[in-house]
Structure 1
Amino acid sequence: MNRLLLLATGGTIAGCADDSATLNDYTAGVLGGDALLAAVPQLQDLATITVEQVANVDSADLLFEHWRALVARIRDAFAADPELVGMVITHGTNTLEETAWLLQLLIDDPRPVVLVGAMRPATALSADGPLNLLQAVQVALSPVARGYGVLVVMDGQIHGAQRVTKAATQGVGAFASPGSGPLGRVDDFGVHLPMASGSWQVPFAGLALPEQWPQVPIVYGSVEPEPLLLTACLNARVPGLVFTGTGAGQLSAAERSALQAWSGKRPLMLRANRCGSGPVQSHSDDERLGLLSAGSLNPQKARVLLLLCLLAEVDRGGLSARLLKLEPVN
């Protein structure tokens, strides 16, 4: 049978509540990966699945050290076992999209890496975790999933790592890919996904992840934003900064003035938007202020890209070149 590796990290899919009617008041990351696998006996007929527990946390509490361990295990497993068909990662939904995007930028292998979670705890009536896990395994085993890089499977939809986001706080259909829609779907008839159109360039394939990571804050735009936050970031000499600008990534006059008046070394900075979809285009003031548009990346994914650029000691020109290569997506 095909061999598959399941890496468990916790989240709602492994969460438990006091009774089956409770959907919101529960503890994430209670069950281990073995229990998740045992809850779906149909998986035994699909593949030989090895389970490893990388973490067991609410994904809101995920740390850089968890990312480091996850990346190392994926790289080692793929390098050691050429017969391994793919991997499935169970993950909390709150930061699932960030982990998916991080892995997309770091894992250089055509075999599928599929992230999956749940919006209801494992103890809930009609828990969505078991079906999501079954469908994630189906996708990871499918030949048509090769070459897409990292995928996210939720509620029967297959999403690409670059666009997928958690778009709602409740409901099993909480994930979406704004601007493009899902790449495909999976059901009891199989995996419905076109063959990948081209090879994905992994910009940080050889990057070794250190124990200590840089801090990259996100500044959120609003009416009369508090200048102390931006000033504090600059005074703290943060190496990177993401602006969640209003509209198409616009900074206020006060924020632009603060950047212009800053006499020290500017952080590596990206402008994203708070709208939830739509691109951020370049502006004539960007170069003068040291900014770059984040394109279609949402603020949290722009932060992931900045983190890796800082770890790789990439300058503003190198970041600009990497942003240009991100479009178009599959």
Structure 2
Amino acid sequence: MMFKPKKLLAATALFAGLLSAPAFALPHVVILATGGTIAGTGATSTTTIGYTAAKLGVDKMIESVPELKQVADVRGEQVAQIASESMTNEVWLKLAKRVNQLLAQKDVDGIVITHGTDTIEETAYFLNLVVKSKKPVVVVGSMRPATAISADGPINLYNAVTLAGSKEAIGKGVLVSLNDQINAAREVTKSNTSTADTFRTPDLGFLGYMQDNKPHFYRMSTRKNTADTEFDVSKLDKLPRVDVVYGYANMDRVAMDADIAAGAKGIVQAGVGDGSIAAQMMPAFRDARKQGVVMVRSSRVGSGIVARNGEANDDKEDLVVSDTLNAQKARILLMLALTKTNDTKDIQRMFYTY
């Protein structure tokens, strides 16, 4: 059988196209930048303390890691440009809404959020509760500014983009990835002021590691997250005020009363030990409940379960316990819970669910 000239030309063009086409399509990953040390600069290459955070824009960060083009089709957006100690509820709502808009698009396979490390665990957990997609969302930062010798930002960003574009990360909830390690947003916490291995999951351990340009998962978080939660921020323009009161010897009710006077609808106590309430604080707890303020017992210890009816009669006093959530994350869940209900039994259910 002989090809006619036109058919021969068409077949040649098709064959040439197949040869020039990539072996596989790269995932589409959007990087949403919020600032932080990963976008920071120092006076010298050895400045790792006293640098200025949130100086570089998202385009500069992408340009600084050309290897990203090998693992994903990447584009970026600047959502905020702040050091993460200045993170606000307003930025969280803006970020969450944009994440949900992007993940609803067929041409977006995953999201990476660059972020300062001081509150990275809080932003990640907030998103873990309000993102409405099973597609990967990875929050990433660095402990050294971009100008430092051995800056960890570029490799962290590369790993985060690789993770966000991977099929293995689908349905795992929001992830925090630094230092070649993968952590669950609900469980991870910053444990050291300055070292690169600062992010840890007390008791439970990492979900897995980034190695050989791919994720290796060894376990999953069992709590409901993302698309399986009951929270919806699409129509919210603000969140209820919830404050944290720290427990210590000789504490009094001044701070708690001030928070409630300022309009707090909920209070989380980072109590000593198993979330213990000092004898002199119990009247303040009772007064708060009479005013309709929801009270949550958490712990300053950093790991372990806060036992219901353990160090306080939670049933009698109508209190909520945080389970294994630290105080800063308990605050986030309580804020979202209060957008749904004031019923303490229902809120306690949420703490055992998420």
Q: What TM-score range do you get, normalising by the shorter chain?
A: over 0.9
Which residue does 1:239 correspond to in 2?
265
Within the alignment, does 1:30 sit opposite 2:30 as a pair?
Answer: no
SS of 1:231's equivalent?
helix
Query: Where does structure 2 lack aligned partners over 5 or more consecutive residues?
Result: 1-25
Residues 31, 74 of structure 2: 8 Å contact kept:
yes
Distance 2:333 2:287 in 1: 27
> Under a length normalisation based on structure 2, what TM-score does the superposition of the two structures give?
0.87
Which residue does 2:318 correspond to in 1?
290
Which residue does 1:264 correspond to in 2?
290
Which residue does 1:47 correspond to in 2?
72
Q: Which moved more, 1:233-242 or 1:205-214?
A: 205-214
SS of 2:341's equivalent?
coil
Which residue does 1:315 correspond to in 2?
343
Q: Deviations over 1:121-163 (max 9, x none)?
A: 0011110000000111111111111111100001000000110
SS of 1:34's equivalent?
helix
Following superposition, the deviation at residue 268 of structure 1 comes to 1.1
Equivalent position to 1:162, from 186, 196, 199:
186
Equivalent position to 2:109, from 75, 85, 94:
85
Residues 159, 213 of structure 2: 8 Å contact kept:
no
Residues 147, 198 of structure 1: 8 Å contact kept:
no
Which residue does 2:39 correspond to in 1?
14
SS of 2:230's equivalent?
coil
Q: Which moved more, 1:293-302 or 1:37-46?
A: 37-46
Q: 1:44 to 1:116 in 2, by over 3 A?
A: same
Within the alignment, does 1:76 sit opposite 2:98 as a pair?
Answer: no
Residues 207, 219 of structure 2: 8 Å contact kept:
no
SS of 1:124's equivalent?
coil
Equivalent position to 1:149, from 166, 173, 177:
173
SS of 1:158's equivalent?
strand
Higher-Rg structure is 2
Equivalent position to 1:204, from 221, 224, 230:
230
Q: 1:179 to 1:206 in 2, by over 3 A?
A: same
Residues 219, 241 of structure 1: 8 Å contact kept:
yes
Letter in 1 for 2:74: I
Letter in 2 for 1:89: I
The alignment covers a number of residue pairs equal to 325
Letter in 1 for 2:278: S
What RMSD in Å do the two structures reach over aligned CA positions?
1.8
Q: Which runs of 4+ in 1 moved over 4 A?
A: 194-199
> Under a length normalisation based on structure 1, what TM-score does the superposition of the two structures give?
0.93
Matched residues, percent identical?
38
Distance 1:183 1:129 in 2: 21
Which residue does 1:179 correspond to in 2?
203
Distance 2:288 2:135 in 1: 46
Distance 2:222 2:245 in 1: 35
Residues 14, 32 of structure 1: 8 Å contact kept:
yes
Distance 1:60 1:294 in 2: 23
SS of 2:242's equivalent?
coil
Q: Deviations over 1:185-223 (max 9, x none)?
A: 002252111485879453234343533332211110001
Letter in 1 for 2:326: N
Within the alignment, does 1:280 sit opposite 2:290 as a pair?
Answer: no
Following superposition, the deviation at residue 178 of structure 1 comes to 0.8
Q: Deviations over 1:92-125 (max 9, x none)?
A: 0000000000000011211100000000000111
Query: Where does structure 1 lack aligned partners over 5 or more consecutive residues?
Result: none
Q: Which structure 2 residues correspond to residues 97-116 of structure 1 after superposition, within 5 A?
A: 97-116=121-140
Residues 148, 200 of structure 1: 8 Å contact kept:
no
Following superposition, the deviation at residue 324 of structure 1 comes to 2.0
Distance 2:352 2:289 in 1: 29
